Amino acid sequence: MNAAAIALNPFTLMMEPELVLQTMERSQQLRGLRRHKLRPLDKPLIPYTSAALAARAAYDAAIDAEDFEAQAESYLN
């Protein structure tokens, strides 16, 4: 098998990792990619406003106040 056929055959590349590395080094498309280091955990947290915290607390209180057992009983009867 010639070198071009080996380089284009993905199954051969899976069996020979050194060929994968050589093919990656020769790839113009891979060299043209921009490289970015993304660190999403480095971003500062957005603080919650007091209005947002109050709305969340009100929503949680409304959920806690509901009687789901009574609703379930009404659905079953």
Domain count, the chain: 1
Residue labelled with tokens 């660190």: 39
Q: pLDDT tens for residues 12-37?
A: 777 888 877 888 888 888 888 877 77
Q: Is 35 left (phi over 0), alpha (psi -120 to 50) or beta?
A: beta
State pLDDT tens for residues 35-50.
777 777 766 667 788 9
- Angle (nearest 5°) at CA 6 between 1 and 29: 150
Between CA 34 and CA 50 the distance in angstroms is 41
Residue 70 lies in a domain: yes
Q: Which domain holds residue 70?
A: 47-76
Does residue 64 belong to any structural domain of this protein? yes
1 vs 34, more confident = 34
Measure Cα distances from 27 to 31, 40, 48, 52 in Å.
6, 29, 47, 50
